[in-house]
Amino acid sequence: MKITAPAKVNIFLKITGHKDGYHTLLSRFMQVSDLYDTIRFVPCECETFTIEGCEGVPRESNTIYKAWKTLNEATGDLDLLEFFYHHKVVVEKRIPSQAGLGGGSSDAAAFMRLAREVCDLRITTERLAEIGSRIGADIPFFVHDYPSANVSGFGEIVEPFDEEPLPLEIFTPPVACDTTQVYRIFKERFLATIDPRSFRGWERVPSVELLERVTDPETLNDLYPAALLACPKLQEYARPDWFFSGSGSSFFRMRK
């Protein structure tokens, strides 16, 4: 009983507005299939929901625990509750944290997908994605498990994009970017300057063409300038021809 949880990059990420305390966006998410965490359900008599492999993260803050709790509340399925009295969750982490690669969200989504299978939950992928959206904005993308997709709204609108994932090289510097702080700085410093006309039609352009056509990482990712202000040390690791994923801190490029 195991499943892989792949990383993602944002080929582009454009903020489209701010509503009800959250930013809306338009972004191309792409899976990075050769960078992934592995999640296993291992037989174990447990007095409470147990996660191993995520040292340093309190259980209540762990996205997998949040996914289990939210899935329980949404379904009321007693089999789901009973199963984790007899199994623990073991995570093999490879995706760096606070790196813009979606590791925590991917783990939560993979947990939900595997739990649906082993507990025979009668729930659609769309419903599973909606439940996941209550935990984190990136989770619906990972629940749908599309190799590439356009993601919009608050992250809940996921539309598959017909292309093969690009061979990508990832570089994650030893800098942790706080997503909340990056978005706060964006709202304070950059939100008033967004211009949806500047990226009209990007959702229809293949990712390889976008990366060849738009070579400025700040143009492709609206959060990059805010991340540089939140984490000034990022500037020391910026390289020509590398792009920035999510709220950071990882950079990526097509493998040469």
12-28 pLDDT per residue, tens: 999 999 998 899 999 99
For 101-114, the pLDDT digits (tens) are 999 999 999 999 99
For 142-179, the pLDDT digits (tens) are 999 999 999 999 999 999 999 999 999 999 999 999 99
Q: Which domain holds residue 243?
A: 168-254
Residue 113 and residue 56 share a domain:
yes
For 191-222, the pLDDT digits (tens) are 999 999 999 999 999 999 999 999 999 999 99
**Residue 143 near residue 114, CB atoms below 8 Å:** no
Task: Return the CATH number at 56.
Answer: 3.30.230.10
The confidence score (pLDDT) of residue 164 equals 92
Residue 204 and residue 135 share a domain:
no
The pTM for the full model equals 0.95
Please, which pLDDT band fits residue 256 given cuts at 50, 70 and 90? confident
Residue 234 and residue 122 share a domain:
no
Taking the C-alpha atoms of residue 126 and residue 156, their distance in angstroms, rounded to an integer, is: 10
The confidence score (pLDDT) of residue 177 equals 92
Residues tagged active-site: 8, 138
Q: Tell me which of 108, 126, 160 is where a domain ends.
A: 160
**Residue 12 near residue 3, CB atoms below 8 Å:** no
